[in-house]
Structure 1
């Protein structure tokens, strides 16, 4: 059952609703565009989610998915497995997998879109630096925003997974994240988050079964 929100100062043709997208969608009007960002680890059944987006798109409508390929990478050898940030990533992958919502599922999105019936599927990859270590202005700014985003939300990203999935207590998590933050802020570690953007279109006409 969805809840419609009343928000002041919005356009008359704009409204906001809260619903659980993992449950059966009860929406009656089709969409021209369905968008999701950073939903990695949110769904137990990605196939069902994409099936429902396909069902609720109008013919010719598009889906766009922006997600993180949940790993920290480096192209120059400044990142190694002994660092706290690498251990953190591995811990979260382990915990999310044990809890049935793996943080690595985005690697299969391309094929999932095709299997759901989408056409014109496109995939683009980007690199978001972990901090301002990059030399060029654009990626330096992206790195600053990424550090603000990940660094500011580090405890929120980690606490449930590490306590429920790994059995850590709160104090252990907080103490460990001190070292993770130091790694994320270290400009000598030239690491980045791989970001994937995928598009897919619902065909203008349903394929004939004859």
Structure 2
């Protein structure tokens, strides 16, 4: 669903980096179901496409130019080190040491090759005054951010990734940002669909993935359950015109 939402949001773009028409080696870090790697493999049949993830949840049948490996991208890399493109989506905001990961990307790219990250900013905004200051989703992101920092993970790092790319040595750093409606409140058909996707994605996050970190704040299980119920209710309130921001950052390794 995240993949479908991003394609709707970006007018069908799988990525924004100008990698040319003939990349030879591409890797998708944190590939998840592998759908991005499969579609890129179809787009570039002459390229070797690797999808890496901790969980082996990718399909068993894949095109001959695509393969999946089980690996922790924060450990030492065991795959080739001459990539034309390194891609990661919804990963950079959940790793423990993003600067180190970007340095590793730099080391494993060919000169002139690109890295791209795509991530939500784990916050909400509103342009028309319909979002109360105490809206439950604001509180949710603030509390989850605090809890994840205790685990050495900064889920609000997305707006600053460009600076980290430059510190890692990348040049020609490019930023693309999209406003993502939270809920099906927009009148525009495409944005309404995107908002409904986002609501569903958020509701999925409100399970164990969110409740376990919140325990670190000293909240009780019942207190968390009641709080998350209020967040679910807020996500379905079409009177609040809230949005998140989806950041794409692309950087090039110098020649």
| TM-score (ref. length: structure 2) | 0.73
Query: Once the two structures are superposed, what CA deviation does each residue of 1:32-58 show, in whole Å capped at 9, x if it has no partner?
Result: 111111125422211100000111112
Structure 1 residues not aligned, in runs of 5+: 206-210
Aligned to 1:49: 101
Q: Distance in 2 between matches of 1:70 and 1:4?
A: 23
- Quote the Cα distance in structure 2 between the aligned partners of 1:119 and 1:200: 6
Pick the structure with greater CA Rg: 1
Other-structure match for 1:193:
244
> CA 1:36/1:156 → structure 2, altered by over 3 Å: closer, same or farther?
farther
Residue of structure 2 in register with 1:172 after alignment: 223
1:38 counterpart = 2:38: no
- Which runs of structure 2 are paired with 1:139-158 in the superposition (5 Å)? 139-158=191-210
Q: Is the 8 A contact 1:125 1:197 kept in 2?
A: yes
Partners of 1:30 and 1:86 in 2: how far apart?
Answer: 42
Report what 1:82 is aligned to: 134
Work out whether 1:103 is the aligned partner of 2:159: no
Output the CA distance in 2 between the equivalents of 1:52 and 1:122.
19
Who is 1:113 aligned against?
A: 165
5+ unaligned residues in a row in structure 2: which ranges?
Answer: 1-52
In structure 2, how many angstroms separate the alpha carbons of the residues matched to 1:20 and 1:177? 30
Please name the residue that 1:61 is paired with: 113
- Inter-partner Cα distance in structure 2 for 1:159 and 1:149: 15
| Separation in 2, partners of 1:79, 1:8 | 45
- Identify which of structures 1 and 2 has the higher relative contact order when contacts are C-alpha pairs closer than 8 Å and 6+ apart: 1
Cα separation, 1, equivalents of 2:60 and 2:210: 34
Shift in alpha-carbon separation, 1:3–1:155, aligned structure 2, 3 A: closer
- Return closer, same or farther for 1:70/1:8 CA change in 2, 3 Å cut-off: closer
- Is the Cα contact below 8 Å between 2:91 and 2:119 reproduced in 1? yes
